[in-house]
Amino acid sequence: MQKITWEIEYKSQLPVIRYCKKCGKKTEYICSDLFRMNAQHKYLDIWLIYKCSNCDSTWNSTIYSRINPKNLNPEILEQFYTNDYNLVKQYAMNVGLLHRNGAEVGIPEYKIVGQDICIDDLTQVHIASKYPCQLKVSTLLREKLGLSRKVFEDMLDCGMIKSISGVDLRRSKLNYEIVLQIGKSKQEYLNQLD
């Protein structure tokens, strides 16, 4: 059995939707790639700054509130001070954090990177994402394999596509990774012919 990996490569950060007081409606907010830090006595507040795409008004997504700086790793604290791009992206792609801050989150632009497969050959496919996301596994599979919804459903029903861990591929969303089996073994084909 062939084993391959498909990686989700993000072309944009998560689109964030919030009510903008200045615009008087829900709008998309764009990550500024900047942290805001405020020190009060012994405690520190840290936010990730977003800007309304219509009017440039800002919204701060809370990362830490009233935390003692001694409780943070000095390297990470320095990354906050220097607006480290990788740390910004880590928080900007954190669906749970954005939901806790009252934001709606959309689907970012992405592409699926990895070799194409022949669905007639038995292949183990590992789909990996650097960040947890809201992408449905069924959407990723149909897109990468070029399948209609009906053909995808038929392949699920006959066992040509299945999750190794047994999750429902019609409903599951990609967290960080999932392992699938696509195709049929020669023995399964021979059994179908009998």
Average pLDDT over residues 65-77: 93
* Cα dihedral 54/57/63/64 (nearest 10): -170
Token pair, residue 60, equals 């701060």
Residues 6+ apart with CB under 8 A from 56: none
> What three-state secondary structure class fits 149?
helix
What pLDDT is recorded for position 185? 56
Give the highest mean pLDDT range of 58-62, 165-169, 180-184. 58-62
What pLDDT is recorded for position 191? 52
Q: What are the DSSP calls for 162-175, one per residue? A: EETT---TTT-B-S
Q: How far apart are CA 88 and CA 44, in angstroms?
A: 18
Average pLDDT over residues 108-135: 90
Give the residue extent of every domain in the chain: 16-105, 116-193
Q: How far apart are CA 15 and CA 28, in angstroms?
A: 7
Mean pLDDT value across the chain: 90
Q: How far apart are CA 88 and CA 93, in angstroms?
A: 9
Q: Which residues of 96-126 are buried (b: 16+ CB within 10 A; e: fewer)?
A: ebbeebebebeebebeeebeebebeebbbbe
